[in-house]
Structure 1
Amino acid sequence: MSFVKVKGILRQHLNLNLNKSIQVQISSKSFSSTITITPETETESGVLRRRVTGSRFSLYRQILVDLRLRLRLQLQSGKYFSTSSTSSTRRVGLTLKGEGEGKGEGKVMSMSTRNKNKAAMAVAETATGTETETEMATAKSPLVTASPAVPPAAASATVTAKSPLVKAIPPAGKRKASSTPEPIGTINGTTKKAKVSDDNHDLSELRQPHHSAKEAEEYGIVLRKYYPHEMCNPRAIAYNNNELPRPIELLHSALEETKEERTNVPGKDSVVHWFKCDLRTKDNKALRLASEKAMELGVPLIAMYVISPQDFEAHLTAPVRVDFILRTLEILKGDLVKLDIPLYVETVEKRQRAPGRILELLEEWGTSHLYANVEYEVDELRREARMVRQCLEKGIAMDVVPDTCVVSPGELASGQGKQYSVYTPWFKTWVAYVHENSHLLDLFEFPGKNPPSARKKFAKLFETKVPDAPANKSLTDEEKKRFHSMWPAGEHAAQERLTKFAKEKITQYQEMRNFPSLNQTSCLSVHFASGTLSARTAIRTARDHNTTKKLNAGHPGIQTWISEVAWRDFYKHVLAHWPYVCMNKPFKPEYTNIVWEYNMSHFNAWTQGKTGYPIVDAAMRQLNYSGYMHNRCRMIVGSFLAKHLLIDWRMGEKYFMEHLIDGDFASNNGGWGFSASTGVDPQPYFRIFNPLLQSEKFDKQGTYIRKWVEELRGVEGKAVHEPFADGKASGVARERGYPERIVEHKGSRERCLGRYKEGLGKGK
């Protein structure tokens, strides 16, 4: 990290303006180590967190962790010191000083904590920069002192804090296989049961794979072509305990640290908007900002979209969704042409090459400013954090803005300053926040029209075509015909569907939404997933059809639909604060201790809709034929796979993503976490859907079953729910080849309860 960046963060947090040198000293009673940072000092890729929230102690702790973690202090072997403490409190000092203009008056903060655990400290006499997250030290509260190399301008902060917990890095060695369950953590920055103390939480352990990593790779859950092995539980808990930087924090830091420089970037020949999952011209924040910047500079606006076949593969994007995206790009291109704005689409075969190729194009087009909307998945956040800095090195200001959620992840916190992990209190706060900040539902205007000269200056860009789907994501002609008829693409189709739903169905939504045969849901998820419709527009439209401007009042159907759309925001919020859910880990790490099964005969029966449970089979056949499944049915089939078959829920999550036209990682992951009881705010593990009762309750007449399960169309009455329990119905079912049940409900339920209890250590 450069001296300028360190100076900036100290000025931001403690109002210090240091312009010559800073010394960072890590010390305790038995040792001291000092690193001097000057304008000539450079270490790589230092990132400091931007957000300052919570108590005064939180501010202290943030700076403390920032200076140690985000300065990339890599501990070197052979130079360790240690100390221990058994006192109830430990007083540590943080003094931030340096040569320059000290504008701060100094702050005194104190907090008393009880900690009777032994604390081990490990430091090195040198500090080096590193790009590797797993090489960072992972202490909770090291002792850090920054002092001047020469007599300073004074400013200080002194606290009473928890004993430092830093473990020395042991010599490299192999980890022995063990059947011992991994530590159990909570989502609130603490641990429970098997606590993660320093003795079982060091850098080498954080790099270890999870004990079931082999199965995850063998069955295609973790694609090692693109990603590392499944992380161990301590690493997930390290994110929970704020010991590893979240990708969203890396992006915020990149934007904050470069803000002044980006603001001063002069205009050139063009401004670019980078389309990703925001394929619309209406109510698109980044697109509108890009348009305004282009008009301010008097230069053309260029739109671009990068197709990455490897990203489609790595992110499990369904062929039907790829087709929908490409059709949408054709429509979007036509809409932009009417505004004299070119949409340049290019395929970049290697996903790691995409950022570099974008930079090449920006330089070729003489671009001064690049705009994009935030995507909250880990890959995208890390990519954008790097690109903000890479663009600036080329004299280009990149701005990444929040747009996909009505309320940006991280904005809402509980009274204790914690992020919500339960939907109901989060939604209550979300509603209040939107009411207090009514501008959040203001819609952004369409982009302005380019000057006529744009067509001549960038003529080649107007001539580019939207390519065909990559070979590994292509559809047959029959599939194209079917899906094109079922799912019209583009923002105009989205707006038509929204308008029709608001006029004809939304008031009945609460009463009718759980019945898959009635077609009473909006089916707008496909448009949310591809960004052809914004959440703002949807909620604003629903509110405008209500009898009140309140989001939690008025017509019950409208209230319920708004709350369902808000679930999408909630799951994005989960991605941002608990990023390991993007890395093949459940929200509750302890659920990885459940022993899952990988019975491919059962899994294939589930995917093909041949389980012998009509409601399950109807739902899976709907998915395979249409690329869509009713939400009630998603819960039924998810519970069946995870609890009746005890198959690793991530195999179901993967199958859904590979087949859903509305495949959205956050919503899909959240839904599977709910059904398998492994996720945020799930159903209790002991709640196991009875497929027969679900069928009788939500498809009482068997209409949905008969539509999708051809073998049972000749079965009359209620026997369609359980054909082999009725003599006449069983004859029809057997004659037409419908399979008998692959498992029985009662025995499966008992087996599931036992397996979950064993994995979670219940009843011991």
Structure 2
Amino acid sequence: MPASPPAHHAVPHVAVWLRQDLRAADNTALLAACADPRTRVTALYAITPGQWQQHDVAGVRIDFELRQLACLRDELAALNIPLCLLEADDYAALVPVLARWADAHGVTTLHANRQYEINEQARDRAVASALQAQDIDTHWHEDLCIVPPGRVLTGDRRFYTVFTPFRRNWQQQLDDHGTRPRGLPAQREAMAYGVSASPLPERIAGYPSHVDAGVARALWPAGEAHAHDRLAGFITEAGGDYDRRRDLPAIDGTSTLSPYLAAGVLSARQCLHAARRQLAHARDARGLDTWIGELCWRDFYKHILVGFPHVCRHQAFKRETDAIAWRHDDALFRAWCEGRTGYPVVDAAMRQLLETGWMHNRLRMISAMFLSKDLFIDWRLGERHFMRHLIDGDLSANNGGWQWSASTGNDAAPYFRVFNPTLQGRKFDPDGEFIRRFLPALAGLDARRVHEPHAKQVDALLDYPLPVVDHGEARLHAIAAFRALAPAGSGEAPG
């Protein structure tokens, strides 16, 4: 039998469980929890380090979330909503911890925004069952996507596997139903809660960040105000040129908002609304329309998790590609991880990840394709390495990007498309500015030689490795391996 709540719990007590939505504004679950001004509302956040390790969550991301929680605690306090921490090693242990807390504090209803990964869905079902046994209602809200999974379907009610028709339907959903961000919930009446805000740790044991603390704070300041300033600056100053500048890693051509979206400091709706508002006054829509397309890609990959949950289980979307005999070479894999492949654009990209906890999107494609096609190492190892180092690590986007590059995913690059890393460097970092920034050993080389330091002859004085593979030979090997899987008569051929 549930314990009888203390007398001061006569006022209904509603809890909102924050996960990938660490913000006060435009938070669907928080707004629902605050709908009745007469209720007490408490926000919850769960620390589950064992689960984080299972999911390869990066220390730099945990550091960012802890800093964001400190900002959010203050914002919620101004609304008279305390933020309380729950601690458990993993999701299985969290369920009884949350149920006991809810019982002890007289919670009548729990609100949370839905997550789509299979472990998170199983956790939420277990929580709902445990709370139902205590006569506590649970409400799960759609919030992470601009258009939620299940709304964008083919004519025969299936999930899309190709992006272009998905975007057309996604756009039609927006035109038909609209979506606008909402503001903050109203400030609640101050009352005796019987619940105090939890002290917040500055770090979690066993979760050091690989990025220098000062660098992380300078590059990725926490707080909704910082996130909105970054969004506004991008929309008004760089968004119009996004289509022309987004692939150039040496310049600030992208929004760098991915950490804020991954942790939910910003909602995708807020981003879409800001872009559309600017488009109303723009003479050239191509830049911001391209960026809106990236928001749609974000939705697309989350829908894939729901429609094809096997991708959450370390399986290729194209199941036949699981038969590929990937190379097992620890030395080559370490060279890629540490930025020592002898291909400057790949190595500079990997050094950027190690030094900042983030990597430019064009470089993610180049480095991912290099590992899976040139080194012919299982893409899942690279996917895990990225998750363990990215401040914006997100299963749907990371898995989708890796499977695109490895030609194992839905709507992926065709298997015979193999980026030439040297040509990619010349095209997108023509002067070598980005390469020199992260590879100081090449700082003295001119714009031509910086892309192929040992092209004409080995420079014994240059502290930079020779290429670990020959790209031409590696490309032919990868194509042959994939072609062996292609159905007879498929008509696919190298282009």
TM-score, with normalisation over the residues of structure 1? 0.62
Cα distance between partner residues in 2 of 1:643 and 1:450: 56
- 1:689-728 Cα deviation digits (max 9, x unpaired): 001110111111111111111111011231111111145x
| Rg larger for | 1
CA RMSD in angstroms, aligned pairs only: 1.8
For residue 654 of structure 1, the aligned residue among 384, 404, 408 is 384
Q: Secondary structure at the match of 2:326?
A: coil
Matched to 1:474, the amino acid is: P
Confirm or deny: 8 A CA contact 2:45 2:84 kept in the other structure: yes
Q: Tell me whether 1:749 sits opposite 2:475 in the alignment.
A: yes
Q: Who is 1:520 aligned against?
A: 253
Task: Name the residue aligned to 1:584.
Answer: 314
Deviation at 1:386, TM superposition (A): 2.5
Unaligned segments of structure 2, at least 5 residues: 1-8, 491-495
What letter matches 1:649 in structure 2? W
Secondary structure of 1:277's aligned partner: coil
Q: CA deviation at 1:490?
A: 2.1
TM-superposed CA distance for 1:365, in Å, is 1.2
Instruction: Pick from 19, 25, 31 the counterpart of residue 282 of structure 1.
Output: 25
1:443–1:537 Cα contact (<8 Å) kept: yes
**1:487 and 2:227 correspond:** no
The aligned counterpart of 1:357 is: 97
What secondary structure, in the 3-state scheme, does the structure 1 residue paired with 2:212 have?
helix
| Aligned match of 1:708 | 438
The answer to whether the 8 A contact 2:383-2:402 is kept is yes
Please say if 1:472 is aligned against 2:197: no
Paired residues of 1:291 and 1:447 also in contact (CA < 8 A) = yes
Show the 5 A alignment for 1:169-568. Answer: 269-293=12-36, 295=37, 298-438=38-178, 440=179, 442-453=180-191, 456-458=192-194, 460-462=195-197, 464-475=198-209, 479-547=212-280, 555-568=285-298
Query: 5+ unaligned residues in a row in structure 1: which ranges?
Result: 1-265
Q: Match for residue 300 of structure 2?
A: 570
1:610 counterpart = 2:340? yes
Tell me how far 1:385 sits from its aligned partner: 2.0
Q: CA deviation at 1:469?
A: 2.7
Cα offsets for 1:63-108 (capped at 9, x unmatched): xxxxxxxxxxxxxxxxxxxxxxxxxxxxxxxxxxxxxxxxxxxxxx
What amino acid is aligned across from residue 709 of structure 1 in structure 2? L
**Cα displacement string for residues 356-383 of structure 1 (whole angstroms, at most 9, x for unaligned residues):** 1111111111111100001111111111
Contact residue 594 and residue 758 of structure 1 kept, 8 A: no
- How many angstroms does 1:554 deviate by? 5.8
For 2:13, the aligned partner's letter is S
> How far apart are the structure 2 equivalents of 1:340 and 1:416?
48
The 5 Å alignment of 1:660-739 reads 660-727=390-457, 730-731=458-459, 734-739=460-465
Amino acid at match of 2:58: A
| CA contact 2:430–2:447 (8 Å) conserved in 1 | no
Hey, what's the Cα distance between the residues in 1 that align with 2:354 and 2:394? 17
Question: C-alpha displacement at 1:479, in angstroms?
Answer: 1.6
Q: Deviations over 1:488-533 (max 9, x none)?
A: 0122211110011011000000111111101110000001100000
What SS is found at the alignment partner of 1:368? strand
The CA distance in 2 between the partners of 1:443 and 1:519, in whole Å, is 27
Amino acid across the alignment from 1:757: R
Question: 1:466 and 1:711 mapped to 2: Cα distance?
Answer: 42
Q: Specify the code of the residue in structure 2 equivalent to 1:467.
A: P
User: C-alpha offsets along residues 172-228 of structure 1, whole Å, 9 cap, x if unaligned?
Assistant: xxxxxxxxxxxxxxxxxxxxxxxxxxxxxxxxxxxxxxxxxxxxxxxxxxxxxxxxx
Question: Helix, strand or coil for the counterpart of 1:429?
Answer: helix
Question: Is the CA contact (8 Å cut-off) linking 1:594 and 1:760 kept in structure 2?
Answer: no
Cα distance in 1 between the residues matched to 2:469 and 2:399:
26
1:251-307 CA-partner distances (Å, limit 9, x unpaired)? xxxxxxxxxxxxxxx9853101000010000100010000004x2xx2211111010
SS of equivalent residue, structure 2 residue 140: strand
Q: Which amino acid aligns with 1:280?
A: R
Deviation at 1:319, TM superposition (A): 0.4
Cα contact 2:240–2:284 (8 A) shared by 1: no
Count of paired positions: 482
Aligned to 1:255: none
1:274/1:303 contact within 8 Å kept: yes
Which deviates more from structure 2 when the two are superposed, residues 383-392 or residues 273-282? 383-392
**Residues 416-438 of structure 1 deviation map (CA, whole Å, 9 limit, x = unaligned):** 32221000000011001101112
Tell me, in whole angstroms, the C-alpha distance in 2 between the residues paired with 1:388 and 1:548: 46
Does the 8 Å CA contact 1:321/1:662 hold for their aligned counterparts? Answer: yes
Letter in 2 for 1:424: T
Tell me if structure 2 keeps the 8 A contact 1:593–1:760.
no
Distance 1:302 1:427 in 2: 38
* Structure 1 residues 512-560: Cα deviation after superposition (integer angstroms, max 9, x where no partner): 11111011100000011000000000000000000379xxx96100110
Describe the SS at the equivalent of 1:619: helix
Question: Equivalents in 2 of 1:516, 1:580: separation in Å?
Answer: 33
Instruction: Return the match for 1:622 from 336, 345, 352.
Output: 352
Separation in 2, partners of 1:534, 1:556: 22
Q: Give the direction of change, closer, same or farther, for the CA distance of 1:267–1:597 in structure 2 (3 Å limit).
A: farther
Contact 1:627–1:661 (CA<8 Å) still a contact in 2?
yes
Q: CA distance change for structure 1 residues 596 and 752 in 2, over 3 Å: closer, same or farther? A: same
Change (3 A) 1:757 1:369: same
Matches within 5 A, 1:21-36: none
Deviation of 1:484 (Å): 1.1
8 Å contact kept, 1:269–1:365: no
Question: Whole-Å Cα distance in 1 between the matches of residues 112 and 203 of structure 2?
Answer: 23
* Percent of residue pairs bearing the same amino acid type: 37
Aligned to 1:636: 366
